[in-house]
Amino acid sequence: METKIYSKTKEVIIGDDQPTILIGERINPTGRSKLTKALEGGDYSLVLSEAESQVQAGADILDVNIGIAGADEAALLAEAIKQISATIDIPICIDTNNFGALAAALKAYQGKALINSVSGKQNDLREVLPLAKDHNACVIGLCMDDDGIPEDPDRRARIAGKIIDHAVALGFSEQDIIIDCMAMAIGAKPEAAKNTIKTIKLIKSEFGSLTTMGASNISFGLPDRKSLNGAFLTIAIFNGMNCPIVDVARMRQIALSADLLMGKDPYAGRYTTAYRERKS
């Protein structure tokens, strides 16, 4: 399966026969007080420099989350989308669970956006999917619903199926619903990684859908997060992960290695080019 998202000037193909697409995770004020303060003051310079450095590090798509408690998220997010789009050319993944902010961001974005996210909650299915369809966007479907995030991969796959069914009924193409297979903290749940990998396999075998996940969640609360995130990302890619949301500067080399090992980079062209670029 394969889909495309694009900005005004750049197209990204996400597909099973394509190299892994990396969605940069770092434009997100959660736990980052400097970024929060700057945004509260209407200062987008930090957001723009973060966007630029993620592009430099090799991000294919930029996740943009501007959720700050008490702030006017719709205004902040729309403005961030505008300013980022004027500065960098890669497509944006609009990351919000605020319906008004999503509507404002989609209005501000020029191109085919990726939306992060719709869940299997009745309210999301009713509100977010039609709005996404109106804007011809791709949507990340989370394997969670009104009962929370199930651990069981079969239950996760059932929620994914429900989201896909709703979307197709609204006129979406199947490939425009990208399933988030849910990575959880392994420090709390020893089966967390296995459950994500099983979910990826199930999603591929049952629906053939494209897949994503917030890869860094796996190492929450543990030391040496880079090693663990890298190992997890590698296994996930090998099992069908198409466009993970990651800290690109830390994970690009891992993704290049995994693509090479999967036979997606014959004679190591991308791998060695990236190595030379890092060294120069």
Query: Interface with its own copies by CB under 8 A: which residues?
Result: 186-187, 190-191, 193-194, 197, 218, 222-224, 227-228, 230-232, 234-235, 238, 253-254, 257-258, 260-263, 265-268, 271-272, 275
Provide the minimum distance between the beta carbon of 206 and its own copies in the complex, in angstroms, as a whole number. Answer: 21
Angle at 61 between CA 60 and CA 67, to 5 degrees: 150
Q: Which of 29, 38, 112 is nearest to 64 (CA)?
A: 29
Q: Which is nearer to its own copies, 143 or 237 (CB)?
A: 237
Q: CB of residue 2 vs its own copies: minimum separation in angstroms?
A: 21
Taking the least distance from each CB to its own copies, the nearer of 118 and 213 is 213
CB nearer its own copies, residue 38 or residue 268: 268
The separation between the first and the last C-alpha atoms of the chain, rounded to the nearest angstrom, is 36
Q: Are 109 and 133 in contact (CB under 8 A)?
A: no
Q: Provide the minimum distance between the beta carbon of 187 and its own copies in the complex, in angstroms, as a whole number.
A: 5
Which is nearest to 192 in space by CA: 170, 222, 171, 162? 222
Nearer to its own copies, 41 or 263 (CB): 263
Least distance from its own copies to the Cβ atom of residue 89, Å: 28
Least distance in angstroms from the C-beta of 29 to its own copies: 28
Smallest gap from Cβ 232 to its own copies, in A, equals 6
Nearer to its own copies, 32 or 264 (CB): 264
φ, ψ (nearest 5 deg) of residue 130: -60, -40
The phi and psi torsions of 241 (rounded to 5 degrees) equal -75, 125
Nearer to its own copies, 101 or 228 (CB): 228
3-state SS assignment for residue 271: helix
Give the C-alpha distances (Å, rounded to integers) separating 113 from 12, 43, 116, 131. Answer: 11, 24, 10, 12
Q: Is 26 in contact with 50 (CB distance < 8 Å)?
A: yes
Residue 254: how many CB atoms within 10 A of its CB? Answer: 22
Contact 58, 89 (CB under 8 A): no
